[in-house]
Each structure stands twice: as C-alpha cells, then as structure tokens.
C-alpha cells in the first residue's frame, strides 16, 4: 500500500466518521472528489500541495493522514462512540419502561 493509498483511505474514513461529505472536502479544499478517487484506484499519486490543502481543510496534520494506523484508530473511536450512544439509548428506554 502506497502513501497515496493510505492518505486516500484515511481521508475517506475520517470524513465518514465525522459526517463530512467528500463533496465538502472538494469545496473546502479545492481538490476534486474525482482526484481522490483516481488516487485510490492508483491512477495517480497525491501531489504534496493537494495533500496539504486537504489536511488543512480537515484541520489534521499531514503526518496523521499519512499514518497507516490512523484509519483503524478512527474506526475504533467511532465504534466506541456508537456503543456509548446505544448504551445511553438503552438506559433511556429502560427508564421510560420502569417509570
């Protein structure tokens, strides 16, 4: 897996976890969704200036988006967050049933 692959995967994972549409990244960074797709499909490599634009828009250090473990960490946090939400919903439902 190349650095470009890692970058594209991490951008998509982070965006999904935070409710950011790829179109928002395109609008905010000026880097097209098609460009990100071409990177992932290995048709091109990410240019440094575009990587910086995207990392600036996402307010993440470039090194973070190039970290092969970042996507896994984001997924783990997302799952933990969802478990907490479900536990809160369960507690609310049990409270309503008991009260």
Question: pTM of the entire structure?
Answer: 0.78
Contact in structure between 15 and 31 (CB atoms under 8 Å):
no
Query: Can you give the CATH number for the domain in which 13 is found?
Result: 1.10.260.40
Could you give the maximum distance between any two Cα atoms of the chain, in Å?
Answer: 60
Residues 47-68 have pLDDT tens digits of 999 999 999 999 999 999 999 9
Q: Note down the domain range covering 65.
A: 3-98
The domain total for the chain is 1
pLDDT score for 37: 80
Residues 5-29 have pLDDT tens digits of 899 899 989 999 999 998 999 999 9
Give the H/E segment covering residue 36.
Answer: helix 33-40
Distance CA 89, CA 15 (A): 25
Distance CA 34, CA 31 (A): 8
Average pLDDT, the chain: 91
Contact in structure between 4 and 46 (CB atoms under 8 Å):
yes
Distance CA 52, CA 98 (A): 53
């Amino acid at each position: 897996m190349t650095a470009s692959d890692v970058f594209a995967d991490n951008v998509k994972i982070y965006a999904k976890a935070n409710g950011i549409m790829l179109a928002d990244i395109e609008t905010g960074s000026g880097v097209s969704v098609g460009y990100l797709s071409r990177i992932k499909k290995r048709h091109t490599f990410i240019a440094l200036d575009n990587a910086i634009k995207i990392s600036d828009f996402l307010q993440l250090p470039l090194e973070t988006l190039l970290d092969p473990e970042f996507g896994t960490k984001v997924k783990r946090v997302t799952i933990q967050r969802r478990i907490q939400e479900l536990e809160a919903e369960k507690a609310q439902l049990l409270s309503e049933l008991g009260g």
